[in-house]
Amino acid sequence: MLHYPDFDPIIFSVGPFQARWYGMMYVFGVVAGWLLGRWRASRPGSGWTGPQMDDFVTYLILGIILGGRLGYVLFYNPGYYFSHPSEVVAIWNGGMSFHGGVLGVILACWLFARKTGKHLLDVGDFVAPLVPPGIMFGRLGNFINGELWGRVTDGWWGMVFPGAGSLPRHPSQLYESALEGLALFALLWWYSSKPRPRGAVGGMFLLGYGVARFIVEFARQPDAQLGFVAMNWMSMGQVLCLPMMLLGGWLVFRSR
C-alpha cells in the first residue's frame, strides 16, 4: 500500500486571498495549451496566427470555467446547488465536470469561428491536441485535493485517502492524468502531425477521451450522491462518455 502524501491544498495566503494548488493546475493547463497553440500557429500552413491564438485563449478560459462548473452543477449535484445557489461560484472548493467543460469549449470554438470566419471543425481540429495537458494538470489537482478517489483495491498501489475511510483505494486521479492527459496528448500530437480531413482530429479527441474515461471509470468510485445511474454498473461519467464516443467515432468515420 502506498502512502497518500499529506498535501496542503493552499500554496500561500495573503490576507483573505488564498492561492490553491487546484486553481493553479488550471493555470498550468491553460498556459501549456496556449504555448503549444502558439507553436502550432507558427507552423507553415496552420491557418492561424499568434495573435489569433492569444485571442482564443480568452474564449477557452471562459468555456472551461463556465461549462465545467455548470456541467458539474447540472450533471452531478443539481439538488444541492439548487438549495445552495451561492455555492455555485465556489469553484475553489472543487467540483468541475469535464463533459461540461467540453460543451463550454465547443461553444467557445463556435463563437470564435463565427468571429474569424473559420469553419467550426477546423477550429476544433486545431484546438483538440491542446486540451490533454489541461486534463493532465486538472487530474493532478483532484489528487492534491484528495477528491474523486477510486474504488477499494487490494493492490500494493492502493492509497488511503482522507475522508474515504480506512481501506486503500485506486489513485484513479493519477490513472486519468496519465491516460486522458499524457497518453491522449501523445496520440493527438502524432495524429495531427500529418494533414487530416476536416473534423478527423477533433473526432479522434472525442473518441479517445471517451474510451479512456469509460475504462478508468471502472476503477473510480461513483459519486456518492449519484451512485450507478444506468444498468446498476454505469456511472454518470460513463453515461456522458457515450455521446462523446458516438460523435467522435462518426466524425472520424465521416472524414474518411
- Average pLDDT by consecutive 10-residue portion of the chain (256 residues)? 86 86 91 96 92 95 93 90 86 80 95 96 97 95 92 96 93 97 97 95 97 97 90 94 97 90
Is residue 157 situated within a structural domain? yes
Number of domains in the chain: 1
- Distance in angstroms (rounded) separating the CA atoms of residues 164 and 171: 12
Domain with 248 in it = 10-255
Q: Which of 229, 192, 237 is nearest to 96 (CA)?
A: 237
- Asked if the structure places residue 1 within a domain, the reply is no
Is the separation of the CB atoms in 88 and 69 below 8 Å? yes
Q: What is the model's pLDDT at position 94?
A: 65
pLDDT of res. 67: 93
In a domain? residue 5: no
What residues form the annotated binding site?
Answer: 139
Q: Quickly list H helices, 42-90.
A: 50-75, 78-83
| Domain annotation covers residue 57 | yes
pTM score of the predicted model = 0.92
Q: Which residues pair with 14 in a beta bridge?
A: 17
SS3 of residue 145 by DSSP: helix
User: Which residues are CB-neighbours of 218 under 8 A, at least 6 positions away?
Assistant: none
pLDDT at 86 (0 to 100): 85
Predicted confidence at residue 2, as pLDDT, reads 87
Q: Is 164 within a domain?
A: yes
Furthest C-alpha separation in the chain: 57
C-alpha torsion 129→131→135→136, nearest 10: 50
At residue 14, the pLDDT reads: 87
**63 and 108 Cβ atoms separated by less than 8 Å:** yes
Asked if the structure places residue 2 within a domain, the reply is: no
Predicted pLDDT of residue 23: 85
Residue 20: per-residue pLDDT: 86
What pLDDT does residue 24 have? 92
Cell reading at 57: 485563449
Provide the pLDDT for residue 246: 97
- What's the rounded Cα separation, in Å, for the pair 63 and 77? 20
